[in-house]
Amino acid sequence: MFSLSGMNALVTGASGGIGSAIAIALAKQGARVALSGSNGDKLRGFREQLIDEVGGDHVEITCNLSDTTQVEELIPATLDTLGGIDILVNNAGITRDGLAMRMKDDEWDDVIRINLEATFRLMRASARPMMKARFGRIVNITSVVGATGNPGQMNYCAAKAGVTGMTKSFAQEVASRGITANCVAPGFIRTAMTAALDEKQTDTINAKIPAGKMGEGDDIGAAVAYLASREAGYVTGQTLHVNGGMAMMS
């Protein structure tokens, strides 16, 4: 069940903690994955690891999402390399945290450009080949704070909330063509960033989560693999919250 055999996927931010878990989950289900990110060396190393551990013929495509030209070239490069695109996972994102009254214009602009605008551009570019194939799965990684807000992250929360609204609109536009568009909204997930927290900080966070612990990258990977599957063809315009009950959305 949920086989992705014969499907081609593009994952942005693929060398990061959550991104690599998503890529592994898709590859394990049989997808051929184009790994994208801004660090070519990290991508290359992860590609080799993915092939060694999971198998398959995966590729890496370096792309700086803050560069509009590179963003516009990413989908054509994926089509040239893989021969098609069935699954697009917009996972890459950055933070530039700070209280609103102290936030600089470039801190706002950078987050919106990479987290929101690049996601829009990649969705738009992928629409034509997916519509021609009359099949497509788009999964955008948002965040629990896009729904709840978070002090010191006005730019990030705005971008993630924007992705959610954008996904719903896109889902309505392309549903008749066999294309779905959904979001996965992680809560606190164990990554290199959360590993830097001390024991007291970790305990404080875990106390707010009914499950009593942070999630793992595999939890997000599993959610994406489901939404990317053929079996999820009647699920579109939705946000799947994966947060251990920290925020229960209806």
Can you give the CATH number for the domain in which 202 is found?
3.40.50.720
Does residue 220 fall inside a structural domain? Answer: yes
pTM flag (> 0.85): yes
CB under 8 Å to 6, separation ≥6 — which residues?
Answer: 30
Domain count, the chain: 1
pLDDT score at 99: 97
Q: What is the pLDDT of residues 199-231, one digit of tens each?
A: 888 899 999 999 999 999 999 999 999 999 999
Measured CA to CA, the distance from residue 186 to residue 170 in angstroms comes to 21
Q: What is the pLDDT of residues 169-205, one digit of tens each?
A: 999 999 999 999 999 999 999 987 777 778 888 899 9
Does residue 99 fall inside a structural domain? Answer: yes
Q: Report the catalytic residues.
A: 156
Does residue 212 fall inside a structural domain? Answer: yes
Does residue 250 fall inside a structural domain? Answer: no
Measured CA to CA, the distance from residue 169 to residue 162 in angstroms comes to 11
Q: Supply 216's token pair.
A: 């793992």
Does residue 90 fall inside a structural domain? Answer: yes
Eight-state DSSP code of residue 29: T
Looking at residues 68-95, what average pLDDT do you find? 97
Does residue 249 fall inside a structural domain? Answer: no
Q: What is the pLDDT of residues 122-165, one digit of tens each?
A: 999 999 999 999 999 999 999 999 999 999 999 999 999 999 99
Measured CA to CA, the distance from residue 177 to residue 170 in angstroms comes to 12
pLDDT score at 192: 78
Does residue 3 fall inside a structural domain? Answer: no
SS3 content of the chain, % helix, strand, coil (to 5): 50, 15, 35
Domain boundaries, position 204: 8-242
Asked if 46 and 95 count as a contact pair (C-beta separation under 8 A), the reply is: no
